Amino acid sequence: MAVARLEPGTGKATQLVVLCHGYGADGKDLIGLAPMLQRLLPEAAFAAPDAPERCQGAGYQWFAITQLDPRLMHEGVLKAAPGLTAFIEEELRRLSLTPDRLALVGFSQGTMMALHVGLGTLRPAAIVGFSGMLTGPPASGEKPPVFLAHGEADPLIPAEALFLTAGALGAYGVRVQWHLSAGLGHGIDDTEMELVGRFLAMAFAGQLKVSGEASCPLR
């Protein structure tokens, strides 16, 4: 698969952030977030792979979406997860990093992938999800902290998905922080990026509790 990358500003990478794009986009679309995050994470390398399947129109998809049915989407997530996991493991080997130096960031369909893979066997330092949802139960065991962001006016994945996902993750013992952006549609704004940068910096510094039942807004 093609991969868009941004190497650390100085020296050897001590952190890896993998960006999972949304339906119909590609890695080059989401790597645009990396320079903004790198201001707070100067030692991080960023990698944004293309999803494995071509869309019928333009761009790529992690799996086909015919309707917003969590059960059907979870089947797609399960099918695509091994390929994404293998890519992440190879990136960690390339940079000689361990999973505790990894963060996953997803947008929309990429959030579904990041949550499933990140709450599986990898055990990264943190997971960030923009404008997405949890499609099925996470794996048992230790859970990394999660930050969720969503546009209040999202016409594709309603903002209700933020609260359903945060509640479900909290019930599974995942520590969740979230932010709802007033007036924002299916996208990402500067406030969300600032909050995400701070969240990831704290996670890599070991300043966030790994698990718990907290589900609270981050401002």
The per-residue pLDDT for range 130-147, each reduced to its tens digit, is 999 999 988 777 789 999
pLDDT recorded at residue 103:
98
Answer for the pair 56, 114: CB distance below 8 angstroms, yes or no. Answer: no
Query: Could you tell me the domains of the chain?
Result: 16-194 (3.40.50.1820)
Contacts for 22 with CB less than 8 Å, ≥ 6 apart = 30, 107, 108, 109, 110, 131
In tens, the pLDDT along 148-189 reads 999 999 999 999 999 999 999 999 999 999 999 999 999 999
Where do the H-state alpha helices sit in the chain? 27-30, 34-38, 70-95, 109-118, 160-171, 190-204
How many degrees, rounded to 5, is the angle at CA 147 between CA 145 and CA 150?
A: 160
Confidence at residue 109, expressed as pLDDT on a 0 to 100 scale? 96
Q: What is the pLDDT along the chain (219 residues), one digit of tens a residue?
A: 799 999 997 789 999 999 999 999 999 999 999 999 999 999 999 999 999 999 987 899 999 987 777 788 899 999 999 999 999 999 999 999 999 999 999 999 999 999 999 999 888 999 999 999 999 988 777 789 999 999 999 999 999 999 999 999 999 999 999 999 999 999 999 999 999 999 999 999 998 865 544 444 544
Helix (H, G, I), strand (E, B) or coil at 130: strand
